[in-house]
Amino acid sequence: MPSPEPIKFTDGAAYERFMSPWSRSAGTLFLDWLTPGSGQAWVDVGAGNGAFTELLLAKSAPSSVCAIDPSDAQIATARQKFAGKPVELSIGDAMALLYDANRFDIAVMALVLFFVPDARKGASEMVRVTKPGGMVASYTWDIVRGGTPTQPLWEELDALGIPAARPPSADISRFEALKALWAELGLREIETRELVVERTFADFDDYWLSMVVSSPSGVIAKLSESQGAELKSRLQARLPASATGAITVHASATAIKGRKAA
């Protein structure tokens, strides 16, 4: 069986349909848990099209935000959202951040750490650019325990013998792996929390467009007509609809926070 191609987020509009509503739901719980206070300098690593950045601007009143992502298309979409706002957008690598050491009060990765090829390097870069006493925090979908919103799609693709791309560092979504990494990097006051969210789609067509057609894996383009029809049939049978046709899907994320030694 051929290996699936790596997941790449290159379409800001498709990402908005696919993941942004999930990001906002989990991000709201995450920010409420961080209780960061206002007037802080943030770095948002792996900001994508700015879904989480937009949320932290609205909820946390930061003094400034530096948002960075490897995709020029995602950053281009984000630029449309943040004109005239205190957000500095950059294209760059999470494993080699462009910023000076000890610059930020808070460093976050929102649904990103498991996409970083070397999760330890990505987390260590967050620590490096955070001020002594500052906060370093992350949340990822709980892939190992089936908590990702894409779990139904992945399982049905697997059942059809079609390899579904998984994030390269999926194991870091485990609480045990997160706590061990944060401790290894010298962070203190480490806390973890599970974030449980749901999303309701108007009907199956809404789900199909949002979670399958808009998937960054481009799965539909790789399927034959008969495979696509079979996948659609299997998902429709799997996902129960309400009396109005609405479909509600649940997901869970593992979150962690800690403070850099003063």
Please give the full DSSP string across 20-32, using - where no structure is assigned. HHHHHHHHHHHHH
Average pLDDT, the chain: 92
d(CA 175, CA 193): 9
What is the mean pLDDT of the segment spanning 21-31? 94
d(CA 260, CA 262): 6
Res 166 pLDDT > 90: no
d(CA 231, CA 246): 19
Amino acid sitting at position 151: Q
d(CA 156, CA 239): 11
Query: Strand 104-110 vs strand 87-91: parallel, antiparallel, or unpaired?
Result: unpaired
The whole model's pTM is what? 0.91
* 16 confidence band (pLDDT: 50, 70, 90): confident
d(CA 174, CA 170): 8
Q: How large is the C-alpha radius of gyration of the chain?
A: 18
- Per-residue model confidence (pLDDT) at position 220: 85
What is the mean pLDDT of the segment spanning 62-77? 93
Cα 193 to Cα 31, 162, 170, 246, 253, distances in angstroms? 12, 33, 18, 29, 8
d(CA 154, CA 210): 15
Strand blocks (E) in the chain: 41-45, 64-69, 87-91, 104-110, 130-141, 188-201, 247-259
* 12 confidence band (pLDDT: 50, 70, 90): low
Res 203 pLDDT > 90: yes
